Amino acid sequence: MPLKKETLKTLQYVAGILFLTVAVGFSGYKLVTSVISDRRAEEEHQRLLNAAVEENAQLPASFTTGVDENGEAVETLPPQYPPLAIDMEMLKGMNGDFRGWLYFPAVEVSYPVVQGEDNNYYLKHSFEGEKSNSGSIFMDCGAAPDWSDRNTFVFGHNMRDGSMFGAFKKLVDDPSLLDANPRFYLYTEDLVYTYEIFSYYMTKSDSNRYMVFTSDENYDKYTGWAVENSNYSFDMDLSERPNIVSLSTCYGSAGTSRRVLIHGVLTLTEPYGIK
């Protein structure tokens, strides 16, 4: 099946307009107002974390996932995801575009993910709908909101202070950060998805790495190239072609076309049992 050229073009455009919010060439006025905006955005994020997320929550001993042929309850093993208690109802009430919570422990990224009607609004608006240079972490507007696409793109600004996807700079400088836990997690109202990183690398905003696909042939070409060109060696079996989430941000000075792409492949789906 041929690639969706119009979708590729749209994703390249989104990657192209994600840029560093504060640059050396800004005027003094813009620099000051930008720093104030960044500070307000980080304060909002901390308020959201404090109100909506409890770390080190008590995980259930097991899950009851159904009944067997004898009508007996079927229990699964204890969950393997990090114990975050997330107030999903509160987050959905605050913003109907909420699609899940992204947690990437190796680089200390913990943010809500939203999905707008287009890929422009959340470039300059916070989770609470305020104008903000930091924007929000958002998934592609054309993606399936239940994370069921074969390759779902999630975008975020590379902030100078290390917030949002600015934390990816640490990973570029020190790949060993993934040695202990090369995974990120997406928490939704009912399920938690575990994605194991199989590749990350530098690319350009107009490259064909910003593609979605439906055919097995294109999946294999895409992941094969990603593995061969990865900045870090991962031992992953992709023969079953599980779904991918790709995290994207800019890298370098303002206006640069360089991008960092981090690909995670779905390795585990579990019921979300912390309420």
Q: Over the stretch 141-150, which tens digit does the pLDDT of each residue have?
A: 999 999 999 9
For residues 39-52, average pLDDT: 82
Higher pLDDT, 266 or 36: 266
DSSP 2-29: ---HHHHHHHHHHHHH---SS-TTS-HH
With cut-offs at 50, 70 and 90, classify the pLDDT of residue 31. Answer: very low
Are 50 and 86 within 8 A, CB to CB? no
Q: Which of 31-40, 168-177, 179-188, 263-272 has the lowest mean pLDDT?
A: 31-40
Q: Please report the pLDDT score of residue 16 as a whole number.
A: 63
| Distance set, CA 168 to CA 66, 71, 93, 177, 274 (Å) | 40, 48, 30, 11, 28
Read off the amino acid at residue 139: M
Return the closest-CA partner of residue 248 out of 259, 235, 232. Answer: 259
Q: Over the stretch 63-114, which tens digit does the pLDDT of each residue have?
A: 666 666 777 766 677 788 999 999 999 999 999 999 999 999 999 999 999 9
Q: Please report the pLDDT score of residue 161 as a whole number.
A: 84
With cut-offs at 50, 70 and 90, classify the pLDDT of residue 18. Answer: low
